[in-house]
Amino acid sequence: MESFLAEFNFEKRTINEFSLSECDSLSMPGARLIWKFSSPFVTVRRLSEWTVFLWGSPQCRTEAKTNQELAHEIAVSLVQGDSLHSNLEKLEGFFAVLAWNERDSQLLFATDPIGMTKVYYGESQGRIVISSHAQLVAKRLDDFNVSPQGLSILFSLKGIPAPYTVFQGVSVLKPATLVTMTKDSRKDEEYWSILNNVTPFLGTLEDAQTELHNLLSENLKKTANGSQTPLGVSMSSGVDSALIAALLVQAGIAARGLTVGYEPPTRYDETQGASENAQQIGLPIDVLRVTDEEISRVLDFATKSFPEPLGDATILPQLLMTLAGREKVSSILDGTGADNIFGGMQKFTAERYASRYLKTPRFLRVNMIKPALALFPSSRRSTFTNQLRKMQKFSYGVELPEQLQKVYWSRFMTREAVERIIASSLSPDGHLADQILLGIRDEVPPGFDDFFTSTYASVRGTMPTHAAQKLVTLQYASGTLYHTPFMTPGLIEFALSLPASYKLSAGETKLVLRRTASRILPAECTKSRKATFSPPIGRWLTGVFKAEFMDLLKNNAFFNTEEIEKMLREQSSGWRDWQWELWLVFIFLKWYSEASR
């Protein structure tokens, strides 16, 4: 597992020894850092009184530079008395920076602009502990108490936005945050503001397509940076990964597709569509099919790599794909983020449809349509029942007060469900997640439309806690670097500058992205429906993981066991689909059990 752990003491010059297994370390007056031997994520540069620790896979926004060059530039800048702020403005990608001045006992630490790399920290008696993993901070501080607020948020949103974490004594930096600390002071500052960098795009839709093509092409060339080993492309049946692959082929950059499916197959299989896309593009592709037994065997390894509980079960097959491909590719490109910034998420469609649906008389909606939908099962077992499940969820959310409706589409579980399943002794608060999401939306000043606000909230609330955490965990588990061309400050600024009409039209999402792709991709690649890659969680929980789940559930202190057992019965009967909720319960208990050893 890739990880780092650091401790800084503003009052003492000597740090008590601590270590991780198979680790390198660096001790300085008032500070100690440790990380895995020969980690590709670590660059250290010491210059005069400053030590710079660079973690992850940062890239310069304007040109290709190595991590050694970036760390050296930061160190020189600090020695010359410049601010770390100006250096951070030039960076993108997954990264964290820690800088320690041993003469003045001054600490600077920051996370990347999007918050893709979570920087966990806790303070106690004049010292601060910082790590890539929440459990390492909690252990070093000797405080492993679970936060009721963090647990409530986790089950409300399937992720925990900063500054909250799953532990009471541990916090996490907000995206684009730089902290400066001394014995007597602390200053938090935002070094990149989306809202300050977005100006309305004044060109045509065709101009926007050209700009998107150029931005993506530049990102891919920087990532390749003369590498002789092929880049991997995580391929799905969707247009996002197909566009990345086509741009690589067009630029003559060596690349190889990677995709994974299930054995026995499910109706959500991505491998056929991914293979067809790769064939149309002219990209070689490796197809991996994983059995339930292989999924079972990789669970322990994956769980130990989680920085916090991760509710996305697709990490297991994707980790097997990453491990299988790491001898063939130098790093992996992933299309994550395109849905968030170009209007491809289901919540955007729900928000738009809600305004039309509310024109239906309330009497019909509440007294006829909603009760009628409740008579049917809510299940993913077939296309028909899955559509009913979505309609039931929509009919509930659309009747909420306007403010709560705006954040409901981002929720994983309803307030009532959260408060039912979490043990009452923890005083679960299902409203807290709504308050956090509304707070993010309130950052947007008047003058921006609802679609812009929802997109901004997705970038600030959803991306750092969902997709980005899966990708960073894949890196920690495999040692293989992931790159996300769509999750860069430049792409986000561009996407948010576009009018809604360039992203959503009648019956079509991600309009500008699809039109850009159609310039270089065959029509088959741009018009096919994505298979969603939904894993067979229900099959796993009633099969290879059933015994372990039942053991973890016994006498646990976090959940209402009777309610969980009821959900299991409804899942087995096919009447309700709780598989994702049950998976998060299982993963939380599994992760906590592993982390507390």
How confident is the model at residue 505, as a pLDDT? 85
Q: How far apart are the first and last CA of the chain?
A: 16
Tell me the CATH number for domain 196-337+463-527.
3.40.50.620
pLDDT band at 530 (very low <50, low <70, confident <90, very high): low
Give the closest residue to 103 by CA, choosing from 181, 54, 30.
Answer: 30
Give the closest residue to 138 by CA, choosing from 146, 127, 126, 148.
Answer: 146
Q: DSSP character for 257?
A: E
Tokens representing 465 are 């806690």
CA–CA dist 224, 86 (Å, integer): 25
Residue 98: phi and psi, rounded to 5, are -125, 130
Judge whether 345 and 238 are in contact, CB under 8 Å: no
Across the chain, mean pLDDT equals 92
Q: Is the pLDDT of residue 551 over 70?
A: yes
Residues of the chain within CATH 3.40.50.620 domain(s) are: 196-337+463-527
Q: Is the pLDDT of residue 100 over 90?
A: yes
* Structural element, H or E, at residue 120: strand 120-124
Q: Is the pLDDT of residue 18 over 80?
A: no
pLDDT band at 532 (very low <50, low <70, confident <90, very high): low
Q: Is the pLDDT of residue 506 over 80?
A: no
pLDDT band at 248 (very low <50, low <70, confident <90, very high): very high
How confident is the model at residue 125, as a pLDDT? 83
CA–CA dist 277, 300 (Å, integer): 33
Which stretches of 382-431 are DSSP H helices?
383-397, 402-408, 415-421
Neighbours of 326 (CB within 10 A): 17
CA–CA dist 561, 204 (Å, integer): 56
More confidently predicted of 347 and 181: 181
Mean pLDDT within 305-313 = 95
Query: How far, in whole angstroms, is CA 564 from its chain's centroid?
Result: 26
More confidently predicted of 574 and 338: 338
pTM: 0.94
How confident is the model at residue 536, as a pLDDT? 92
Q: What digits encode the pLDDT tens for the residues 19-57? A: 777 789 999 999 999 999 989 999 999 999 999 999 999
Indicate the pairing of strand 120-124 with strand 127-131. antiparallel
Mean pLDDT within 514-535 = 78
pLDDT band at 528 (very low <50, low <70, confident <90, very high): low
Indicate the pairing of strand 127-131 with strand 4-9. antiparallel
Q: Is the pLDDT of residue 86 over 70?
A: yes
Q: Is the pLDDT of residue 507 over 80?
A: no
pLDDT band at 574 (very low <50, low <70, confident <90, very high): confident
Q: Which fold has domain 4-192?
A: Glutamine Phosphoribosylpyrophosphate, subunit 1, domain 1 (3.60.20)
Question: Above pLDDT 90, what percent of the chain?
Answer: 74
Q: What digits encode the pLDDT tens for the residues 124-174? A: 888 999 999 999 999 999 999 999 999 999 999 999 999 999 999 999 999
pLDDT band at 420 (very low <50, low <70, confident <90, very high): very high
Judge whether 486 and 337 are in contact, CB under 8 Å: yes
Mean pLDDT within 108-117 = 96
Indicate the pairing of strand 482-483 with strand 332-333. parallel
Judge whether 410 and 460 are in contact, CB under 8 Å: no
pLDDT band at 493 (very low <50, low <70, confident <90, very high): very high
Sign of CA dihedral 192, 195, 201, 205: positive
Q: Collapse the DSSP code of 562 into the 3-class scheme (helix H, G, I; strand E, B; otherwise coil) and give the result.
A: helix
pLDDT band at 523 (very low <50, low <70, confident <90, very high): confident
